[in-house]
A and B are shown apart, each in its own frame.
Chain A
Amino acid sequence: MAAVTAGSGAGSGAAGSPEATGGSTGSGGWRRPHGPLQRYYGPSTADAAEEVPDPTDINGPHFDPEVFMTKVRSECPLGQLLAREAALGREIRALDSDMQTLLYENYNKFISATDTIRKMKVDFRHMEAEMDDLAANMAAISASSARVSAALQDRHRRGAQLAGVQALLRKLQALVEVPGRLRRWAGTEPARALRCHARARAVLRHYRHLPSFRAIEDESQAIMADLAQRLRTRLREETLDPKELTECVEMLLQLEEPAEELSEEFLSQAGARLEAELAALEAELPAADPSGTATTPPPPASDILDFVDRGSSAFVGTLCQLAGSYRALFGEDTGRLEPFAAALATRYFTLLERRLALERGLGDTSLLVRALDRFHRRLRTLLELLPAGADAAAELVARAARERVDRYLRALQTFFLGCLGDVRQALAAPRPPGKEGPGLPDLLATLAASVLGQLKAVLAYVQLFTARDVAFASLPYFKGEFCVTAVREGLVVAFVRWLCRTARGFADGPTERGAPAAPPALLLLLARLCLDYENSTISYILTLTDEQFPPQDSGPAVTPGPALCAEARAAAQRLLDHYVQVQGAAVAQMLRKSVETRDWLGTVEPRNVRAVMKRVVEDITAIDVQVGQLFEEGVRRAQSSDSSRRAFSVYSSSRAPGRYAPSYTPSAPMDTHLLSNIQKLFSERIDIFSPVEFNKVSVLTGIIKISLKTLLECVRLRTLGRFGLQQVQVDGHYLQLYLWRFASDERVVQGLLDEVAASAAHRCLDPVPMEHSVVELICERG
């Protein structure tokens, strides 16, 4: 019964709930016809409205029997039609029975409701009479209560009067007892005495025109004056701790001693204490050495963290306490306190700074950071009292940080110089024969890696200053300026700059005057290092720095990476140029000496290539190997070796006779000029000491140009005999054979050697050139 009520009454909500329906009937078939009924009673169901009207849906509101019949008839076979008909019949029957049940249920409910209403009507009539009775009784009660209280009022007033008199008498008794109590407590418990006196004082003062009260007041005042005297004496004692001091002064204030005087007294006492603590701190520092720092003071006994700890707990703690009490005692007027505290704080800062200055070397940065952090934290409480000191403190921390960064920069520089020293040593170390020392690439890699590693380590250390858990890292200085000015500019950029400068220094500085020049291999190595810096390392370092120390948008201008790269490149260029000059000069010197010291007139017919030429080729080959270790090959002008050989033979076989022809008529010189000038027209002007590119071929070309030009100039200064000329011819051919492959453009080598040959011919008394085949033979044999 209940289930059915729920099912029908609940409309759309509960009808579909399987528990509600299934629980009562237990058959699934019942549910289906229940749906249409429900829909009938609740036509406003949401989903019904949304559905598209379907005239064939037998359960839908838009059912059209005609359409349905037509559809079924046209779609279904006979068997299915029969089954359908049976099913429909069943459904109709079920619906009819349902309807009957519901009707019956509703009728029953109606009947019971009518019964209930009838019962209620009878009950209400009865209740109304009882309520009237109750109201009458309440009125009687309130009337009697008013009578009773009127009767008692007089007595109550007299009782209260008596109690007042009693209290007054007790107070008078207490007043009379005041001097005695004061005397009793003044010695042992001054605070209690004070409280007692304070309570009594106002009354006494008020009634002082009555002689008895006056006597009491005078007596108690005398006692209090005595007490004040004693307190003052105590105040001057040295041994007071800050708390006692405060109490003492507080009591004196309550005794209405002049505040001005007291505050002065207080400060001088506090000052004495703080001075003592500062002195204790100072004792730890080595005495200032006015004679200069000839001897390094011994390392401080305790580390910096310890020092700061002690300083903050002792000095700063006391100062805070005292300042706090001062405020509590003398109100917010801190006109006197501030300069006092500022002076002391300044002294403390000075001490700390002196201690920081003792932190030589690189010590433990984390320790320093922790010490500074603690200092800063402790100071914050003080700074609330003393806002003026904030800047000084921040400045102190910043200075310490900067100092440390500077020291790191110096350490990096020292480290780099050390590395360079190692490299130089490795380069200069005598090699046991047959055993190759560490190659240049290895040295370079070691150098670059160790320098970069060191730089990273330093950055990691410095990063401690900006760590999140460090209090002062949130200062605007550490957020912005420190990252940019101190670390990025002051450390990283400065180091890279310094590195470039130092490297350049090897090329610019000691080349000729005094100091031993850097070995060429070192120049080459540094050139490569600078080039690597330009290509990748600088941007890597800067990215790393910017990541670890994010710069602020509004911060001071930073050195852009490209500018640094340009510096590095300039340094690399300078070094490489210098390398070329040094190596070129070495070879050139050899050639110059060989030409200058030889007797070119009296020489015999050449049978060999001169040893110095072989040496030149050897040296240049060695240089080629050296440069090849560090620099790329570079572009060579495409030209097969065959063509060059052909060119050379053409030059010596067909052109040479014209030039060396003994039939030198007066007009001939003009012809040779013409010839050589025409030749020059087609060849570009060769700059001998010109900047080279960063590749092997260009470097070698530079060196060869310098060497050959020297040979040319030297030959021009000599006078040659016939065999002298032939010797030059042989030497030139030999150089041509072996040097062309090093140069970027063998025409350069060719051109210079041609000029050497031409000049030699000019400077020859008897210009008879050697047969080219013989020259070739000699060269191949040599």
Chain B
Amino acid sequence: MEDDAPVIYGLEFQARALTPQTAETDAIRFLVGTQSLRYDNMIHIIDFDDENNIINKNVLLHQVGEIWHISTSPADKGVLATCYNKTSDTKVMTCAAVWRMPKELESGSHESPDDSSSNTQTLELLCHLDNTAHGNMACVMWEPMGDGKKIISLADNNILLWDLQESSAKAVLSSSAALEGKGQLKFTSGRWSPHHNCTQIATANDTTVRGWDTRSMRQIYCIENAHGQLVRDLDFNPNKQYYLASCGDDCKVKFWDTRNVTEPVKTLEEHSHWVWNVRYNHSHDQLILTGSSDSRVILSNMVSISSEPFGHMVDDDELSDQEDQHQEEKIKEPLQDSVIATYEEHEDSVYAVEWSSADPWLFASLSYDGRLVINRVPRALKYHILL
């Protein structure tokens, strides 16, 4: 199928940071943050026109430093947070800040895609997340489903919960927790659970995955040695509240039930190098996307541990005979857990993969050389899931 071909977009600089515009549910839009030590860094706003298969981009200058992590507010399309490196001659400090993009870019500007790169616009700084006392910021998480007022940032071994006040102009540290232990502990990544009224987050440091309660800021579970080596990323199953996916330097993706942390529920071993990213599809949680430094993106179908029941339960009355037959066939052979597709469009390590917030069948992946690839779930599978 012609329109299943991937769409590739090249950035001039190296890039690691990618996020969908979470608050946007109509247009397919991704934000990419660049990494350059010598030039002004930028945030590319990538609009994907699904019908015409065209990419429109807008560029925002991000002059404070190279971007290591980027996330967008779930409530306000125009608000985003970045973690960026502030470099001086002798010191590198990773800071975090909340920004607002110019109003006209919030919903994209399709009129002048050609010259949009020339007249780059600047971000409006809303507030800094003051981390002088806490160390380097690893990532910023927005409260999912929230009103965009609560964020959590991970700084070295601290978890910081911020309240954004005065329409995000001021960030007040409401509570924090520090991870104590021998050696230099450092969070590598974290995720905010959309379940339990958004009172739980999960963090990764070294080979351990920990769960925290944001009300008490206490640890609620701990998966020791979740991976043989460093844990790189986590994600919560959006539909099953105790399910968690993790990935790491042992090339594995593991699925956990947080109520029983001694054994993973399932383990995938498809990549041939470190897995940097794992993402559940927002609506169909059997679809798992992983990106790895073996330059591959793998889309897996984990039906057996998804919220989707095997086969469908559709009322017989609604089906004509023909459909009925079709239905039976499908029930006869439910999909097995399997790799759906391996995408090899990248030529450098893939550090970020994200599903679109608007189209559940579409995802983007970003490799270090600045190549952004937009792919779709294969049509056959899509219909299989839908029908």
Contact = CB atoms under 8 A, between A and B. Distances in A.
A596 to B, nearest CB: 9
B229 A713 contact: no
A763 B90 contact: no
B228 A676 contact: no
Interface string A620-635: 0000000000000000
Contacts of A669: 12-13, 36, 39
B91 A601 contact: yes
A719 interface: yes
Interface stretch (A208-216, A286-294, A557-565, A680-688): A680-688
A762 interface: yes
Contact of B227 (A512, A690, A765): A512
Contacts of A670: 12
Nearest to B14: A762
B273 A689 contact: yes
B347 A677 contact: yes
Contacts of B368: 716
B92 A601 contact: yes
B87 A689 contact: no
B92 A687 contact: no
Contact of A689 (B90, B225, B251): B251
Contact of B293 (A512, A677, A690, A713): A713
A664 interface: yes
B272 A512 contact: no
Contacts of B36: 669
Contacts of B369: 673, 676-677
B250 interface: yes
Contact of B272 (A592, A690, A765): A690
Contacts of A688: 272-273, 293-294
B274 interface: yes
Given A585-B229, A589-B229, A673-B370, A512 B91 contact: no
Nearest to A759: B368
Contacts of A653: none
A713 B274 contact: yes
Contacts of A589: 229
Contacts of A673: 10, 369-370
B89 interface: yes
B225 A513 contact: yes
A765 B37 contact: yes
B117 to A, nearest CB: 12
Query: Could you say which interface size class chain B belongs to?
Result: 35 or more
Interface string B197-228: 00000000001000000000000000001011
B382 to A, nearest CB: 29
A709 B293 contact: yes
B290 interface: no
Contacts of B92: 601, 719
Interface of B (DSSP majority class): loop
Contacts of A719: 37, 85, 87, 92
A502 to B, nearest CB: 21
Interface string B340-383: 00001001010000000000000000001110000000000000
B86 to A, nearest CB: 10
Contacts of A511: 228
Nearest to B230: A592
A499 B39 CA distance: 60
B38 interface: yes
Nearest to A517: B228
Given A673-B370, A677-B369, A687-B272, A666 B229 contact: no
Interface in B224-245: 225, 227-230
B90 A601 contact: yes
Query: Could you say which interface size class chain A belongs to?
Result: 20 to 34
Interface in A81-134: none
A492 B19 CA distance: 58
A175 interface: no
B72 interface: no
A602 interface: yes
Given A688-B294, A689-B273, A512 B370 contact: no
A764 interface: yes
A765 B87 contact: yes
Interface in B250-279: 250-251, 262-263, 271-274
A732 to B, nearest CB: 18
A681 B274 CA distance: 22
B225 A680 contact: no
A579 to B, nearest CB: 14
A601 B86 CA distance: 13
B72 to A, nearest CB: 24
A585 to B, nearest CB: 6
Contacts of B189: none
Interface in A581-607: 585, 589, 592, 601-602
B295 interface: yes
Nearest to A666: B39
A483 B273 CA distance: 48
A709 B249 CA distance: 11
Interface in B268-325: 271-274, 293-295
A585 B251 CA distance: 11
Contacts of A765: 37-38, 87, 89
A685 B295 contact: yes
Interface string A727-762: 000000000000000000000000000000000001
A475 B138 CA distance: 76
Nearest to A687: B272
Contacts of A764: 37
A690 B295 CA distance: 14
Nearest to A669: B12
A525 to B, nearest CB: 22
A590 B243 CA distance: 33
Contacts of A677: 347, 369
A434 to B, nearest CB: 35
A763 B250 CA distance: 25
A186 B24 CA distance: 122
Nearest to B37: A765
A513 B92 CA distance: 36
A370 B194 CA distance: 73
Contacts of A676: 369
Interface in A674-723: 676-677, 680, 685, 687-690, 709, 713, 716, 719, 721
Interface string A44-57: 00000000000000
A131 to B, nearest CB: 118
Contacts of A709: 273, 293
A653 B89 CA distance: 27
13 contacts: A512-B225, A513-B263, A585-B228, A669-B13, A673-B10, A676-B369, A685-B295, A689-B251, A713-B349, A719-B85, A719-B87, A765-B37, A765-B89
Given A511-B228, A585-B229, A688-B273, 8 more contacts: A513-B225, A592-B230, A601-B89, A601-B92, A669-B13, A669-B36, A687-B294, A713-B274
Interface of B: 10, 12-14, 36-39, 85, 87, 89-92, 207, 225, 227-230, 250-251, 262-263, 271-274, 293-295, 344, 347, 349, 368-370
Interface of A: 511-513, 585, 589, 592, 601-602, 664, 666, 669-670, 673, 676-677, 680, 685, 687-690, 709, 713, 716, 719, 721, 762-765
5 shortest interchain CB distances as A-B pairs: A688-B273, A687-B272, A512-B228, A719-B92, A689-B272
